[in-house]
Copies of this chain bind each other. A is one copy, B any other.
């Protein structure tokens, strides 16, 4: 039985500062708009507020500072053309500028990726579950470009309480034929879905995805394709 899914924006979260208790802030923002988390919800959070709460902010006084910061944050450079630098981060993600981002942060600063976004997701999940007695999953997102396709999409860089990938191999299609390679990047689809109510310009740093009946124990790093399987590095 397939159920419907609802995407609910979390509005009214105040500007997050280093050391803030993000879980409490999100639940308070929800409460003030008459909403609350319920068992089975997936809380999708842009990494930006997590990075801010974790103090992953750097001073960036100049373009030169920014370029140096990107090189420091990157584990390696995959491609470079003009100002565009495609990097591999220490987590293994391939993205522009090692995830260093100067939008939605104070002038002269940049937001870095969390050190370990899967752990950040886990901590936020445990904090909210403990404080509010609900059983939820957490997905931490960032906005990445892709090879071959124009436009950015949100993807998962951290997860807790869900499988990152749902493996349908061995299940049968409508004709009774066994599906061979059908591993779905579930948490990336969740991240993309949540962005539809989050947006970049509006101040909505989180969303609830309600109605998914799945639990699991994946990590976003499960999504990193091993270099020896990757035809495009």
Chain A interfacial positions (CB closer than 8 Å to B): 2-9, 11, 15, 79, 81, 84, 86, 93-94, 102-107, 143, 146-155, 164-165, 168, 171-175, 177, 179-180, 182-186, 188-190, 192-193, 195-204, 209, 211-212, 222-225, 229-233
- CA of A198 to CA of B172 in the docked complex: distance in angstroms? 15
Residue of B nearest to A156 (CB): B149
CB atoms of A201 and B168 under 8 A apart: yes
Asked whether B230 lies within 8 Å of A151 as measured between CB atoms, the reply is no
Enumerate the 4 nearest inter-chain pairs by beta-carbon distance, A residue then B residue, closest first: A151-B185, A193-B193, A192-B192, A147-B232
User: Which residue of the partner chain B has the closest CB to A94?
Assistant: B148
Q: Is the CB of B146 within 8 A of A224?
A: no
User: With a CB–CB cut-off of 8 A, which chain B residues contact A3?
Assistant: 9, 197
Number of copies: 2
Given A150-B223, A173-B201, A202-B2, residue A189 in contact with residue B185 (CB < 8 A): no
Interface centre among A6, A7, A177, A229 (most CB of B within 10 A): A7
Give the one of A105, A146, A152, A229 with max B CB within 10 A. Answer: A146
Given A189-B193, A189-B196, decide whether A173 and B103 contact each other with a Cβ distance below 8 A: yes
Partner of A189, one of B5, B173, B192, B233: B192
Q: Can you give 23 contacting A-B residue pairs, CB < 8 Å?
A: A2-B198, A3-B9, A5-B7, A5-B197, A7-B7, A93-B148, A102-B177, A103-B179, A104-B175, A104-B177, A147-B147, A147-B230, A148-B233, A149-B223, A149-B224, A150-B183, A153-B185, A153-B192, A171-B200, A173-B201, A182-B201, A192-B193, A193-B193
**A-B contact sample (15 more), CB < 8 A, given A143-B184, A149-B155, A189-B193:** A2-B204, A94-B148, A103-B179, A104-B174, A107-B175, A148-B225, A149-B185, A149-B225, A151-B184, A151-B185, A152-B184, A172-B201, A189-B192, A189-B195, A232-B232
